[in-house]
Amino acid sequence: MKHTAAVRPPIVRPPKPLWKQILEHWMDYLFISPFYITFLIFGLYPLLWAFRLSFSYWRGFGPMEYVGLGNYRAILRDPYIIRALINTLEFAYILLPTGIFIAIVFAVILNNKNLKGRGIFRTLYFLPYVTSSVIVGIVFIQLFDDQLGWVNAALKSLGLP
């Protein structure tokens, strides 16, 4: 014979008020605040400013003149807008998927363990990334060389050590 225990209903506590939750997690909000501040300054503010500018005529200096939907009317009357729209759609629907497909093919080739010459292919694929860093390093070494560097020569001509 089986014995079954009586099942008690779970204790349901009412949710804490929002201000109590915020006070409990104040350190979390403090640590994530640099992201939100950066997003507001470099993301949301430029977006709102561009939206405001889209309804205005302004040359960058002087007063801003409100033109309403005039800028949008001007764009729709522009003869090049259709070509620009076609180029954008072509990029979004043809070139982008093609590039992603080619990238996936390269990723499969790079990770195929049975492929002969896999190491050579990886080397050839990553060589431009490594080479550019090495070249930048060599250029900076030559620029700041004690004897022949251009930067040190310019600083010495100004009387600096």
- Note the pTM of the prediction, 2 decimals: 0.48
Task: Convert the pLDDT of each residue in 72-87 to its tens digit.
Answer: 999 989 989 989 999 9
Tokens linked to 107 = 């990723």
Q: Where are the domains of the chain?
A: 16-77, 79-111, 118-161
pLDDT at residue 41 in the model: 97
Task: Give 110's contacts (C-beta < 8 A, 6+ positions apart).
Answer: 118, 121, 122, 125
Task: Convert the pLDDT of each residue in 97-143 to its tens digit.
Answer: 999 999 999 888 888 888 888 888 888 888 988 899 899 999 999 99
The C-alpha atoms of residue 126 and residue 133 are separated, in whole angstroms, by 12
pLDDT at residue 89 in the model: 95
CA-based nearest residue to 18, from 8, 34, 29? 29
**Does 1 score more than 70 pLDDT?**
no
Task: Give 81's contacts (C-beta < 8 A, 6+ positions apart).
Answer: 75
R_g (Cα) of the chain, nearest Å: 31
